[in-house]
Structure 1
């Protein structure tokens, strides 16, 4: 007798409603042991974690029979509680026998606020600003950081330590906002509806995660007016803009810390009377201070300091508000786990006050419902904090499947998220195959690992051979199809659609290969992006698994009676998938009835013969 026959939290016959629930919901439970087991009593024990692990025990009375099984059923009220509930069951027999099941997780969230749906519905495109497109070769003279600029766009980024033994990230290529503006037609051709920018504010390093001045666009990118102009142009094309908010730390080289004295106003490193001194924590002023992961170039801030919160969040023209007023439509919070929950909540309130339709997306690398950071269970997706999270579990699960893992492992990982996440968080997840923090997806799919056993110089020079690249491209087409068909925002890391290669930073941050793109791959992404933009089932539909076994993964999305099916065969043997009706493969144009063949390394995006799009029948 298996536990799933006794109780299955993903089956509404055993637990209703499915998954996470909003506060105030009464959750119904049922156990179904075999009658021959002669259990006479069932008890539910619920542990309310955020209420000092308070235990609540509820008797589940016998409520009848279901075939050869007894049914014990009862209900758990959640009241005004918000947090995680961990529950288990105990079955008791008249002869003293007992059986325990659990423990299971129930996420209870604050459902009072309406989360804007636009982010999760459309395609997002991540831009690393220095490397996407430049409209001119800039002059770095007078800019913060002692920069150098590569003369040729195609040169390799610098990865070797300098004379002081440091990798300083001061080599720039000069990508700018006007360059992005010039390429809005290209991005629109991909079906992109959201532009997510890595940091754009003045900073000494090319990645700009050590903010030097939150109040101004980095001059190499352009000026503040250029940003607003870009936002207006994007909005005119139906696109929105999300900015990277780096609020856990500033730059050592910044007007706030001013570690190198570049800025004329004294920073925390120059004077204890500086208005910025309370923002930082010194063990020994001025040379020993808290920093992000011990990296001295990124001094950590005290997010609880009132003057810092006033500056970033609270003021009428606070940083969070002023850039929304300048045209942004939301924020992605860097290292959200390292920001206090009350800081994120206050920031979220400020964002919604400035623009009720703006969103907050958090950087979290694990299941965001269970995340513990600094000994505290985080409230990222319990309502009023983050509207969605970066979905690294999606990336990890999909890459594992593409590289050989059973499709059931991907399905189970995603079902765990769907069960644990509030519906708004699952729908607004930022799904992706790669980011600026991971090796290029094409390289991973061709080589199979990050090759850290080799030297960094080897990784810098490495390029896939023809066989590796052909396999990688075939796998990437499958991965992209799943990405664009799955609930949550399909997010493209700039250049993945062009066939860029590379291992870790900075090899995953090379310049976009304008004029040398893999045009077949770009066309595949564009077709998927346009499908995501036009097919309502892909934007809003439910999720139903059709097959997740071995090397075949298939699921459907249905909205208002119309269905789209994503089916991929990542193996080297042909497969078939039965169909209920007639469908057309949007990618190849082929039509199928009753069954669809899946040759090796083939993906299909199947629409019903009369499936409606946002603009009519497709």
Structure 2
């Protein structure tokens, strides 16, 4: 069969090795225009993002293959980490010709090049990417007793009823301060470790746990103290020890771009006895912040004055957070944490992230460092600057928002090939270790609940409507069917399947704070929970799901079929996201569905799949 493409960087006929390249490694390229087009010369145009170097390297004519004229070129990747943009120039003996880039042939002077990520190979821990992660919003997971808010920073109040809805209305001055607490605690999490073990969880990702004036705790008040409502440092150490006994690790949320205005460092309301930057220019924390002028105006995260932005380059701040022998990064790793997830990584300088990684690895060599990045992290531009997150000395991996975006688009009526294309773009652009260390998820504390998104037929216009919105029985049933499909992809795709607390029992809710309700320990969908537990058990027991390569077998319309392969073992994920029964393009004479244990034999050589149904197949069907 003739290959229709002139150049496809994902095809071994055109480029080897696949995807990103190690610094200094050799890369082979082949450009294959139709011979009838008469091109007799070809050159590779390279543009390096960070060094600014631009090159044009001539390719050699390697002969005619079928109807294709083949031009070949081997070149060395840069010795330092880079993003290399490249395209081809093709011309004939008479001088006529054109450019070839991602858009095809062009002669308009435009430039839409392919990307080659060149990275520095370094140690990357595998425990995170090969395991299952569970994200906990600590205030809402498990409460053992109703706490008192007296004497704590912020004017807090506590819900007496665990099942109440979170407060969402603005206060009298129009501000939303998130001052309502439910009282979930670290001891509560410890009590539920056996439950998490049943889900197959190996990493607990905790939203911030340090002392703060709000229930989300992203406005840190004291980096050195566990919020008293959650417990204390001994409770944290106990959690890490008990989790470790069950082969689980703890990942902390590091909020290092800003503090809270009610922190001991800024101290806008004078709660702390320490002299804060808002109180005096003589404060030891004054140079942490940018005032213009002091004290009324200062830089704040997205202009939110309760979140004053820090100056990462301030020497005393660097020493406090990273460099000092008892710095925040080092201290909590020594206390038992196994890594950090960096909040708003786009707001942190590359050099700052590099320093965090170096300090973390020096303290705990197999510590993992992840970042909150919502787009393709290999080529992200933040504040007009191209970022270097994944080039070898910064992040091990990132939160995979593109996975969620592409999967939802497919499940809500899109083409399965759109999901494949989005994921192959990441696989091509990311270093292999980074792709394997992605935090894949269906929802987080920053997104609406997955069941609500997939079950609802519209988004209510007003926040008041969204606050009381609940799916109808029919919507919930449809949503549950689609959530099962989404979870099947989540647990069988490369990277760490990450479950946002309560998604496994069908919690509903639109945006914050409706997506941050309490976990329903006395109710919830137990059938859905059993399904998640089954997926967790399969992920734990099937090496291909943790370490295997991915092959796309069929992606068209509502049908998504891919395989994970490791040595001689192969598992096949099959989804039919449509409302109609579909015939599957599979030729295996007999397969077993690992989700149910049933052996499937295609009738008349054909296997049919009911609407909104998924399978996890193995060809190992003895007897």
Secondary structure, counterpart of 2:75 in structure 1: strand
Verify the 8 A CA contact 2:117 2:429 in the aligned structure 1.
no
- The TM-score, its normalising length taken from structure 2, stands at 0.96
Match of 2:413 in 1: 404
What is the CA deviation profile of residues 480-508 of structure 1, one whole-angstrom value per residue up to 9, with x for unaligned ones? 00010000110000000010000000000
Verify the 8 A CA contact 1:132 1:512 in the aligned structure 2.
yes
Match of 1:606 in 2: 617
> Aligned to 1:219, which of 218, 228, 244?
228
Match of 1:153 in 2: 162
The answer to whether structure 1 residue 316 and structure 2 residue 316 are counterparts is no
Q: Distance in 2 between matches of 1:360 and 1:450?
A: 35
> Aligned to 1:196, which of 202, 205, 213?
205
Q: Distance in 2 between matches of 1:11 and 1:459?
A: 47
Tell me how many residue pairs correspond in the alignment: 608
Verify the 8 A CA contact 1:105 1:420 in the aligned structure 2.
no
Q: Distance in 2 between matches of 1:593 and 1:423?
A: 36
Verify the 8 A CA contact 1:579 1:593 in the aligned structure 2.
no
Secondary structure, counterpart of 1:51 in structure 2: coil
Deviates more, 1:85-94 or 1:105-114: 105-114
Aligned-residue offset at 1:106? 3.2
Match of 2:73 in 1: 74
The answer to whether structure 1 residue 373 and structure 2 residue 385 are counterparts is no
Q: Distance in 1 between matches of 2:470 and 2:3?
A: 49
Match of 1:7 in 2: 7
Secondary structure, counterpart of 1:381 in structure 2: coil
Q: Measured at CA, do residues 249 and 497 of structure 1 come closer, stay the same or move farther in structure 2, by a change above 3 Å?
A: same
Match of 2:108 in 1: none
Verify the 8 A CA contact 2:117 2:378 in the aligned structure 1.
no
Match of 2:93 in 1: 94
Verify the 8 A CA contact 1:107 1:421 in the aligned structure 2.
no
Match of 1:34 in 2: 34
Match of 2:563 in 1: 556
Secondary structure, counterpart of 1:322 in structure 2: helix
- The TM-score, its normalising length taken from structure 1, stands at 0.96
Give the 5 Å matches for 1:253-292: 253-292=262-301
Aligned-residue offset at 1:81? 2.8
Aligned-residue offset at 1:449? 5.1
Secondary structure, counterpart of 1:80 in structure 2: coil
Secondary structure, counterpart of 1:554 in structure 2: strand
Q: Measured at CA, do residues 87 and 240 of structure 1 come closer, stay the same or move farther in structure 2, by a change above 3 Å?
A: same
Give the 5 Å matches for 1:505-516: 505-516=512-523
The answer to whether structure 1 residue 462 and structure 2 residue 469 are counterparts is yes
Aligned-residue offset at 1:108? 3.2
Secondary structure, counterpart of 1:28 in structure 2: strand
What is the CA deviation profile of residues 266-316 of structure 1, one whole-angstrom value per residue up to 9, with x for unaligned ones? 100111111100000001211110000000110000001111011000111
Verify the 8 A CA contact 1:109 1:381 in the aligned structure 2.
no
Verify the 8 A CA contact 2:63 2:71 in the aligned structure 1.
yes
Aligned-residue offset at 1:83? 1.5
Give the 5 Å matches for 1:132-531: 132-448=141-457, 450-451=459-460, 454-531=461-538
Aligned-residue offset at 1:36? 1.5
Verify the 8 A CA contact 2:20 2:119 in the aligned structure 1.
no
Secondary structure, counterpart of 2:128 in structure 1: helix
Q: Distance in 2 between matches of 1:389 and 1:577?
A: 34
Q: Distance in 2 between matches of 1:87 and 1:598?
A: 43
Aligned-residue offset at 1:72? 0.5
Q: Distance in 2 between matches of 1:541 and 1:586?
A: 17
Deviates more, 1:588-597 or 1:254-263: 588-597
Q: Distance in 1 between matches of 2:118 and 2:356?
A: 18
Match of 1:587 in 2: 595
Aligned-residue offset at 1:112? 3.1
> Aligned to 2:574, which of 567, 578, 587?
567
Q: Distance in 2 between matches of 1:119 and 1:608?
A: 29
Match of 1:60 in 2: 59
Verify the 8 A CA contact 2:157 2:179 in the aligned structure 1.
yes
Aligned-residue offset at 1:3? 11
Secondary structure, counterpart of 2:597 in structure 1: coil
Q: Distance in 2 between matches of 1:311 and 1:605?
A: 49
Q: Measured at CA, do residues 427 and 450 of structure 1 come closer, stay the same or move farther in structure 2, by a change above 3 Å?
A: farther
Q: Distance in 2 between matches of 1:315 and 1:111?
A: 27
Aligned-residue offset at 1:374? 1.0
Q: Measured at CA, do residues 387 and 581 of structure 1 come closer, stay the same or move farther in structure 2, by a change above 3 Å?
A: farther
Aligned-residue offset at 1:581? 5.5
Q: Distance in 1 between matches of 2:254 and 2:390?
A: 18
Aligned-residue offset at 1:450? 4.1
Q: Distance in 2 between matches of 1:382 and 1:127?
A: 29
Secondary structure, counterpart of 2:391 in structure 1: coil
5+ residue gaps in structure 2? 102-111
Q: Distance in 2 between matches of 1:355 and 1:608?
A: 42
Match of 1:25 in 2: 25
Q: Output the aligned Cα RMSD.
A: 1.5
Q: Distance in 1 between matches of 2:580 and 2:7?
A: 36
Deviates more, 1:597-606 or 1:398-407: 597-606
Verify the 8 A CA contact 2:80 2:120 in the aligned structure 1.
no
Q: Distance in 2 between matches of 1:306 and 1:380?
A: 23
Secondary structure, counterpart of 2:320 in structure 1: helix
